[in-house]
Every structure is written in C-alpha cells, then in structure tokens.
Chains A and B, each alone.
Chain A
Amino acid sequence: MSFIELENLSHIYHKGQENEFPALRHVNLSIEEGEFVAILGANGSGKSTLAKHLNALLLPTEGHCRVAGMDTRETDAVWEIRQQVGMVFQNPDNQIIAAIVEDDIAFGPENLGVPPEEIRRRVSEALKTVHMRKYRTFAPHLLSGGQKQRIAIAGALAMETKCLVLDEPTAMLDPQGRSEVLGTVKRLHEEKGITVVYITHFMEEAIAADRIVVMEKGNVVMEGVPKEIFGTPEKLKQWNLDVPLAADISEKLRRKGWKIPKGIYESEKLIEVLVKMAAGRKSVVGE
C-alpha cells in the first residue's frame, strides 16, 4: 500500500449552487513513502485543491483520499493525518502564527500536547535543520520571504511530520529565496527521507523531483519521470506551462533538422550531445 492514495477523487466547490465549480475530476494518484513528487499545472488546474486533500483540510466530494492507510473522512484520524503530513503554503506571511520565531515553531507540537522539554528539543532541532538557529528570537516580519518559508518548514518538522506538502512555496519569493527553499526541501528529502509533494509552476524546481504529475482543469493529464515529461515540450506548452531551457533549445534545433535525441531537459546532457556533434562523431543516438 502506498503512503498516500487518491482514489477516484473529485472535489466540487459550492456543490448544488449556482456557482458550482468542479476543481478535481476523478483523480487517481499514489505517492510512495520517501518519494519526491512535483505537481505541475497552470493557475486554476486544481493543484492547490489537491494539496489540501492530502492532510484533510478539504474532504473529497466523491472518492477517497488515504494517508498511511487512514481515510481522511474518518474524523478520528484527522489529527494523526495532519501530524504525519505537514503543509507549507504560498504566502509566507499568512502561515506564521506567533510573534517570535521559536514560538511559532512550537505551535504544532503544543497543539499535539507534547511535554515542554520535548518541545524545546524539537524546536532547536528543527531550527538547526533549516539553518535558522540564529533567528530563534526574531520577529517574523523582520525576516526575508525565503527565511519565513524555512520557518514554516521547521514548524512542520517540529511535529515530526513524515511528509511535506508544499503548495507553491516559492511563488512569492525572489530568486535567492527560491533557491533557499528548494535547497532545504531537497536536503530534507535526501538526508531525512521525508516524502515531498512539491507544487510549483517553476520548471527548474520540478526537475529536482523523482516523478512529475501534470494537472490541467482538474485532471491528471500526465505523470512520469522528468525525462518523459520534458521530452514532449509541445504538450507542456499546450497546458500553459514553461519548458526547461535545454528542452526548448533541443526542440528548436530538431525543428531545424538537427538530430538531437528526445527527452533532453538538462543543460549538461545537451552540452554533451552538442560537443559530440561538433566533434563530428556519428555516435549520437538517432530519434
């Protein structure tokens, strides 16, 4: 059994009302423990709605969402699910609750009824993990966007969460903040084996994932390893998504009749191919 299982999951906002809006349509998806999955999709594709199902902030209109075997509809399991699946949202300002960094990180464990000494240990540990120990007693509004998001991540870690769901955590950050957040997430995945569900519309970030799920209009339209997803740039464009530079260049060169193999999306790979071509070797794999 997978860690997270979505079975025929549909979500309709304002069901039965005039402004009824289906945000998710019969989604089937499973996420294994220890996986790093990126979810890509244009605005309004349903990716945020999907994220909110993963820790029972939203409940399916139809179908099921199971986390570690627990159905999110079972009201007894809700707190257990939320402890296992931590969330990081888009707006760094609107998810920090306390007026001091360490108090904010303590918020989750306090809600779980963890003893004070143990909370202290977890807060220090979490701050260390996200490299924010220096800022323990800072007021959140004095931190940069990237730092605030790292505090939000630490807040989830202090709950000893197994899985992090990040809903466009970098959409409001500058490039430096973006790389701070992505770097932290990657490290947590690699060093602590934390399961990551990373929602984004930045391609450079999706490349870091083991598996990519593409959503459009409430449907999962494609899923696979990055090579498969970025191997078809035409389709990405059709779903209103950007294409990684190397995939874009490859595609454009192919259209000019160059024999660039399909499925290249990393700059290093494309450079390798171009170097071989320049050397005149015919060992380049054809299409």
Chain B
Amino acid sequence: MLSDITIGQYFPGGSLLHRMDPRVKIVLLFFFLIGIFFFDTVGAYIVFSLLTGGLFYFSGIPMRMMTKSLRPLLWIILFTFAIHLFSTPGEDIARIWMFHVTWEGLGKGIFISLRLVLLILLSSLLTFTTSPLKLTDALERLLSPLKRVGVPAHELAMMMTIALRFIPTLIEETDKIMKAQQSRGSDFTTGNLMQRAKQIVPVLVPLFISAFRRADELAMAMEARCYHGGEGRTQMKVLRVSSIDYVACGASVLLCGMLALLKWNNL
C-alpha cells in the first residue's frame, strides 16, 4: 500500500551524533568525502572503514539499516567492481572468454567499491541521525551567505518544509483517489503498458486539481499569518554549536592531519 512509504530515513535517537549541530554534520561530511578521494591509500581506507563502522555503532542505528541503505546502489557497486576487475591490465588470474581477470584488477575493484560503500554509508549516516526538518534548516543557514549572489536560500528551505509537510497528505490522497477509481472499474494491475498508462490519467487529474487547490488555500493561510518572505523573519529554533561539535571538528582535523602525514611518508 502507498502509505507504507516512509519519508526520509531519519532514525530517531539520542546519540552524540544525533545531538550534533546539523550544519557541522554537513560540513564534516563534505570534509570526509573529499578526504576519501584525496587519501587513496590502503592505510587511509582502513582508518576510514573503522571510523565509519565506529560512528554507526555509536549512533545506535541498527546494522540492518546499514545494509538497507546500500541495497538500492548494490548494482552500481557490483558493476563498478566488475569493470575494474576485467579492464585493468596486469598479471592474469583467470580468463573468461575475451576478458582477463587480473590481480591488479581485483585490487582496484575492491578499492573503488569500498570507496563507494564508504561514501554511501557516511552520507546515510547524516540522514539517519538528522531529521529532514533540521537538514532543511541547516541547508538554509549554510546557503544564506550565497543570498548576496542571488541564491534563494530561504525560499528553497520553505519549499522543502512544505514538501515534507504535504507528502504524507498527498500519498493518502492518492490512495483514496485510486480506490475511488477502482470502485468505478479502473484496473491498475492488469493490461499492457499502454493500457496501464491510460489508467493513470483518472488518478493524476484529480490529484493535480486537489494539489492546486491545496496550494491556493495554503498560500492564503500563510499570507493570513503575515508571511512575506524571509526578510525580517526570525526563527524559534536557533541552531547552536555545542562542545560536542567542537570536539568532533577537532578530532576530524587531527585525523586528517595524521592521514596527511601517512600519505607524505608514503605509507
């Protein structure tokens, strides 16, 4: 059923990771993502893997969520692995038809796949431990310096807030319209592609009409509550950088410093 879909992948909890300032989390995530590309040594990847595993452990996110976040990208990871496995020249392990499997290919394949896995896991760690609302808020603050060059940071954040608010409502509504049309003999499950595409029209038209009506009424309700854009607006929830955030930033800088040392000493 449509209502099974959950929004975002926030996993509520009270770990240190949950309590960190979302802005700091976003900045650190970027920091690490760049780090993963920059420090491409075996030693560095062991450190990153341990770090990611440790963060998952301390965040209290169940391990099955970890595998769940990888599943949608599993094919891409396998594909990347295969490409490197077969296309890297070097010492042969085996030959399959016209493809050569090489030791170098195996190593590179594992390395690149691990890089992807780490990228995905670290990013999902952010969305697991940060509610969509906090993320929106953090993005607005982080983007606000770009307002001067014309980036509509407030408007983007407002759009995301409204989307988050109305997605469950619209899913419910879609379910209801589908049932109403099924009661008039619509069949969404059988028929060829063309026939099925045609069955979507009786659902989409009412859904759009309703969405427009909602947008209209919402705009009016917002205006009635003195909404006039981001100018002169305050916010109830002020993001505060706390000691946890300073510690996290310090530790990250320290870690990267060590990795840099390792890299320059060619270890």
Within 8 Å by CB, do A and B touch in the complex? yes
Instruction: Say whether A106 contacts B236, CB under 8 Å.
Output: yes
Contact indicator B234/A119 (Cβ below 8 Å): yes
CB distance from B257 to the nearest CB of A (A): 37
Q: Identify which of residues 151-198 in chain B touch chain A, using a CB-to-CB cut-off of 8 Å.
A: 161-162, 164-165, 168-169, 172
| Complex Cα–Cα for A148 and B255 (A) | 49
24 pairs of residues in contact across A and B, judged by CB atoms under 8 Å: A79-B226, A87-B221, A89-B220, A91-B214, A91-B217, A95-B218, A95-B221, A96-B165, A97-B165, A99-B133, A99-B161, A99-B165, A106-B237, A107-B227, A108-B225, A110-B236, A112-B226, A113-B234, A114-B234, A116-B236, A119-B236, A120-B236, A156-B225, A159-B226
Using known A-B contacts A97-B222, A99-B164, determine if residue A123 contacts B236 with beta carbons closer than 8 Å. yes
Closest residue of chain B to A54, judged by CB?
B224
B238 interface hit (Cβ, 8 Å): yes
Q: Give every chain B residue within 8 A of A83 (Cβ-Cβ).
A: 226
A97, B218: Cβ atoms closer than 8 Å: yes
A155 close to chain B: CB less than 8 A: yes
- The smallest beta-carbon distance between B35 and chain A, in angstroms, is 33
Q: What total of A-B pairs shows CB separation below 8 Å?
A: 96
Chain B: CB-nearest residue to A90: B217
Which residue of chain B has the shortest Cβ distance to A96 in the bound complex? B165
5 other contacts beyond A52-B220, A91-B214, with CB at 8 A cut-off?
Answer: A97-B161, A98-B133, A99-B165, A113-B232, A155-B225
A57, A93, A98, A99: most-surrounded residue (chain B CB, <10 A) = A99
Candidates B161, B169, B226, B238; contact of A108 at CB < 8 Å:
B226
Is B132 positioned at the interface, with any CB of A under 8 Å from its CB?
Answer: yes
Contact of B214 among A82, A94, A108, A119 (CB under 8 A): A94
B128 to chain A, nearest CB (A): 18
Q: Bound complex: CA of A95 vs CA of B233, how far in Å?
A: 19
Known contacts A103-B133, A114-B234; decide if A141 and B220 are in contact (CB<8 Å). no
| Pair A115/B161 contact, Cβ less than 8 Å | no
Number of interface residues of A (CB under 8 A): 40
Q: Is B225 a contact partner of A140 (Cβ separation < 8 A)? A: no
Chain B min CB distance to A64 (Å): 20
Least Cβ–Cβ distance between A124 and chain B, in angstroms: 11
- Check A110–B169 contact: CB distance below 8 A: no
The verdict on A109 contacting chain B, using a C-beta distance below 8 Å, is yes
Per-residue A-contact encoding for B105-132, CB less than 8 Å = 1, 0 else = 0000000000000000000000000001
Q: B214: which A residues are within 8 A, CB to CB?
A: 91, 93-94
In the assembled complex, the Cα of A109 lies from the Cα of B236 at a distance in Å of 9
**CB closest chain-A residue, reference B226:** A111
For B217, the chain A residues whose CB sits under 8 A away are 89, 91, 94-95
Q: B265 an interface residue at 8 Å Cβ cutoff?
A: no
- Chain A residues lying within 8 Å of B224, measured Cβ to Cβ, are 55, 57, 82, 86-87
In the complex, A100 has a CB within 8 A of chain B: yes
Q: What separation, in Å, do the CA atoms of A135 and B207 have in the docked complex?
A: 29
**Are B236 and A103 in contact, CB atoms less than 8 angstroms apart?**
yes
B127 to chain A, nearest CB (A): 15
Shortest 10 CB-CB contacts between residues of A and residues of B: A95-B221, A94-B217, A106-B236, A119-B236, A87-B224, A111-B226, A108-B225, A99-B165, A141-B168, A99-B164
Distance between A94 CB and nearest chain B CB, rounded to angstroms: 4
Q: Is B92 an interface position by the 8 A CB rule?
A: no
Q: Is there a chain B Cβ closer than 8 Å to A139's Cβ?
A: yes
| CB contact list, B203-226 vs A, under 8 A | 213-214, 217-218, 220-226
Chain B residues near A102: list those with CB within 8 A.
236
Q: Which residue of B lies closest to A155 (CB)?
A: B225
Residues of A within 8 A of B213 (CB): 94
A158 smallest CB distance to B (angstroms): 9
User: B235 near A: Cβ within 8 Å?
Assistant: yes
Q: Which residues of B contact A113 (CB under 8 A)?
A: 232-234
- Is the beta-carbon distance between A97 and B169 smaller than 8 angstroms? no
